[in-house]
Amino acid sequence: MASSPTDWRTSGIRVIRAGQLDKNTPQTPGMTRAAAITAAAAGAQKLWAGTVVVEPNVRTGAHHHGELETVLYIVSGRARFRWGERLEFAEEAGPGDFIYVPPFVPHQEMNARRDVPVEAVVVRSGQDPIVINLDIESPEPGPDAAESFHPPDRE
């Protein structure tokens, strides 16, 4: 049985140019997200990828992303991550570093610097912007814990 030919021109590789990133994504104060690889832009079915810029001295509230796996690649600046039941573990990452966030891990992201933004590439294992905000007080000095830098929960 012969299979029909594939139109590789429309079904092959997609290049999403820097000027084509979609900022019509969930935005939060101090963080600018732009989607690159989505179902609409590239036909992706299992991945989401984009960029995030975190302004100086900004942090998220404690949260997790449900069943999604997340990878971040730090392009510039210095990011700090906290994770655990009480956000008791911490690590920093700089340009060229990759961060892997497993499913359901309570965590917090922040810009570790007060003078320059953090720029990162984000890749997630799904299209839905799942964010489950958690009632965990941050051990980091900074904005009031009630001030979450993630949009309301989405499922």
Predicted TM-score (pTM) of this structure: 0.85
Per-residue pLDDT reduced to its tens digit, 28-62: 789 999 999 999 999 999 999 999 999 998 999 99
End-to-end Cα distance, the chain: 42
Domain 19-133 in CATH: superfamily?
Jelly Rolls (2.60.120.10)
Q: How confident is the model at residue 153 (pLDDT cuts 50, 70, 90)?
A: very low
> What is the per-residue DSSP string for the chain?
-PPPPP-HHHHS-----GGG-B--S--BTTEEEEEEE-HHHH--SS-EEEEEEE-TT-BPPSEE-TT--EEEEEEES-EEEEESTTS-EEEEE-TT-EEEE-TT--EEEEE--SSS-EEEEEEESSSS--BEE-----SS-SS-TT--SSPSPB-
**Least confident span in 22-31, 91-100, 145-154:** 145-154
Domain positions in the chain: 19-133
Mean of the per-residue pLDDT values of the chain: 88
What percent of the chain clears pLDDT 90, i.e. is strictly above it?
A: 75
Q: Dihedral, CA atoms, 100, 109, 35, 64, nearest 10 degrees?
A: 70
Neighbours of 114 (CB within 10 A): 7
